[in-house]
Amino acid sequence: MTESSPIATLSPRRHGANIGQPLTRRDGILKVTGQARYAADNHPPDMLHAVLAVSSIARGRVTFLDVRAAKAHPGVVEVMTPANRPKLAMDPDEKANPFMFRMEVLQNDTVRYSGQPVAVVIAETLEAATEGAALLAPRYETEPARVGLDDNDIFITPAVGAGTPSEVRHGDVEAGLAVAEHRIDATYETPAQYHNAMEPHAIVAAWDGDSLSIDMPSQALAWAQQRIAGLFGIAPENIHIRSPFLGGGFGSKGVMSGPQILGILAARLVGRPVKLVLRRDQMYGPVGHRAPTRQTFRIGADREGRLTAIHHHVRTATSTFDDFFEPSGQVTRTLYASPAIATTADAVRLDTGTPIFMRAPGEASGSIALESAIDEMAHAAGIDPLEFRLRNYAEIEPVSGKPFSSKALRECYAQGAARFGWHGRPLAPRQMRDENGLLVGWGLGTATFPAIMFEGHARAVLRRDGTGLVETGAHEMGQGAWTALAQIAADSLGIDLDQLEFRSGTSDLPDAGIAGGSAHTATAGIAIHGAGAATIAKLAELAMNDNRSPLFGAGNAGVLARRGRLIRCDDESRSESYADILARAGLPEIEGSGRGACDPAATGAYAMHAHGAVFAEVKVDPELGQIRTTRLIGAFAAGTIINPRLVRSQYYGGMIWGLSFALHERAVMDPRSGRVMNANLAEYHVPVNADVPSIEAILVEEFDPYVNELGIKGVGEIGITGTAGAIANAVWHATGVRVRRFPIAIEHLIGSEAAL
């Protein structure tokens, strides 16, 4: 809505009937009854199945594939190798921006990591394709694999994450350390982790001349459309992607991956629709992961426990052929007040698939180390960990010097501590036991995540019958987007939710941006809000310029849109239904469009983050070293809450992932072969129901007038950033053993110098 609009803009505190309501998921019945159609559920007529043959070595070249044996298998139609792969319009190793990744699509016989596709077998049945792939029996010329953080030359990263500086300095760190009364120097290590969404990467591709129809899970439909268009040399509008549902993504489905392009190439090669679905073990390589890190902290504090300096150095890894560096240091630049802060990074190149964005990229790995280091410093200073954090509370963003657009972290600390009972915590470790003799520990972690917005678009329509339509190419990957965005849409049009038709999930709709960075509700939601406002503005103009309308001449006063009627702001007895306005104008419907994007003026002036505090209780068997998390309470402030039910669900998911980060999750690499040894859900441990404790999320009220028009911040990733550190700190408080290598395992406790 522009400033000249005659419509009164609703304050974010004065929403319609839907925003703020804990509505159940609009897609819930479809999912629990099996009616929700995911990519691999599609079976177009005459479809073939494709299966990848993947490398069992990490470095070298393929010297032989028994293509003749594979093609001789009954049901096998074709075998695609570098020798017969259809040509692409551009080199798949070209990279135009940080959100584009180089990929392996049978360019040549070089092997860059274990699990890399080396051929594709296409057959009438999945079984025939699988058996044909086994018959290829690849042979290799092998070179030694480089898989550890010390296994290759170290270099300074040109940038980290999506292009942010790899080195940032504020103040004199060395001087701050020199005058410190208390100092710590500690190194923390986090392992490689893999996304492991329940739904594997999949594609069903069908060509019709130069037009391409695709079913695949995607967190960024427009990005996928553009990437495919570039690779195949066709117009983006000739590519129709359907992605109504994703069974999780966590960042891995935000960019196009090699296996999906191979599915499209296979369909072009055989001239029939092709389905390609990755096996679980094939998701450990070509579709990204979180890189391992080694993080060193040097921290100083004065006699009163106020920080004098922080230096956070990160070593991480990327592949030998692409550049993505886990930005673990960025959380240190925003969280605690210190006159001197430095974050630096270096890296090694390894024979692995390229790391990419994984839920809370940088913040997850960085915060578990930072929160552990802050706890260590609090102990060195003899101060309660919560009190230490309050003494070093950042009223402005420490490095940038910007004020926060809003920050209710003090309230998060207070409400979380009160609910948890933190005041009864003894300062020294190993002071509490339960009735069974188990050691009990309490830990705290501060949660933070930036409030990000991408650019998104939406279209809204009001019909003469009083119903509305909103269209945007949004992504429903389990976070409740269909529900939250529909709530915004209904309120933007001033209609009841059951009067709204909401369309999303296909590439022919307005680009809703990417569902990542906890930005989707803000990005698509503000676009929808704008589209609804533009539609209502057009409708109001019709009424206020029509002398037959009770709203005639209301331009100065403005009108409100409620329950399918326009109402004068200065006289609510004067109103008119949408149906009457459109009927008198002879229009079947009226429409408007909206755009959601961050305001450069606001982002230049303010630091924008969501905040929280997580309190954890663990119990540890003093003889076996077995750890159980028994309580988690998180208090979070994230601006306007569109749907409390969905937000709590997101917080729970993040907190469970934080538990996984602290105690369960890691990829185990074979240093000889470069293979992930636990590439399955049996041995790649993530929490199950028995591991999930009593868990509670407190929604702390916060109003942010600057972050966007509705005051929305993201909630999907912040829960990880406080929880992992809280659990690590609780384990120390229970045992007195400070573990700096994650996930924390039994051997770290019973095999350490300070063994239980």
586 and 618 share one domain: no
Q: Is residue 560 part of a domain?
A: yes
498 and 590 share one domain: yes
On the 0-12 / 13-18 / 19+ scale of CB atoms within 10 A, 513 is buried
Please give the angle made by the CA atoms of 423, 427 and 432, to the nearest 5 degrees.
85
CB neighbourhood size of 591 (10 A):
16
On the 0-12 / 13-18 / 19+ scale of CB atoms within 10 A, 625 is buried
Contact 79, 68 (CB under 8 A): no
Dihedral in degrees, nearest 10, Cα atoms 746, 747, 748, 749: 60
Minimal CA–CA distance to 355: which of 52, 157, 155, 102? Answer: 102
Q: Is residue 431 part of a domain?
A: yes
593 and 639 share one domain: no
488 and 543 share one domain: yes
CA dist., res. 695 & res. 698, Å (int): 10
609 and 744 share one domain: yes
Rg of the chain (C-alpha set)? 28
630 and 678 share one domain: yes
Contact 229, 266 (CB under 8 A): no
The pLDDT, as a whole number, for residue 633 is 98
CA dist., res. 113 & res. 607, Å (int): 40
Helical H segments across 668-717, by residue range: none
434 and 546 share one domain: no
Minimal CA–CA distance to 200: which of 259, 277, 117? Answer: 277
Helical H segments across 144-275, by residue range: 173-178, 221-232, 258-270
528 and 626 share one domain: no
Q: Is residue 587 part of a domain?
A: yes
pTM above 0.85, yes or no: yes
Q: Is residue 368 part of a domain?
A: no
617 and 540 share one domain: no
Q: For the chain, give me the number of helices (H) and strands (E)?
A: 16, 28
Q: Is residue 12 part of a domain?
A: no
Active-site residue, 717 included:
yes
Q: Which parts of the chain register pLDDT below 70?
A: 1-15, 752-755
Taking each helix axis from N to C end, the angle separating 258-270 and 221-232, rounded to the nearest 10 degrees, works out to: 50
On the 0-12 / 13-18 / 19+ scale of CB atoms within 10 A, 434 is exposed
Q: Is residue 61 part of a domain?
A: no
Single out the residue in 597, 614, 631 at which a domain terminates. 597
Single out the residue in 574, 597, 620 at which a domain terminates. 597
544 and 666 share one domain: no
Alpha-carbon distances, residue 567 vs 560, 561, 574 (angstroms): 5, 6, 6
Structural domain boundaries, residue 642: 394-452+604-750
441 and 490 share one domain: no
CB neighbourhood size of 366 (10 A):
29
Contact 558, 551 (CB under 8 A): no
CA dist., res. 238 & res. 206, Å (int): 12
Three-state DSSP class for residue 603: helix
Minimal CA–CA distance to 667: which of 230, 379, 283? Answer: 283
574 and 615 share one domain: no
CA dist., res. 98 & res. 166, Å (int): 14
CA dist., res. 136 & res. 129, Å (int): 11
The count of domains in the chain is 2
The pLDDT, as a whole number, for residue 98 is 82
Residue 730 maps to which CATH number? Answer: 3.30.365.10
Among 476, 717, 747, 753, the one annotated catalytic: 717
Burial annotation 471-493 (CB, 10 A radius, 16+ → b, else e): bbbbbbbbbbbbbbbbbbbbbbb
Q: Is residue 43 part of a domain?
A: no
Single out the residue in 569, 597, 625 at which a domain terminates. 597
- HSE (CB half, 13 Å, CA atoms) of 456? 35
Q: Is residue 104 part of a domain?
A: no
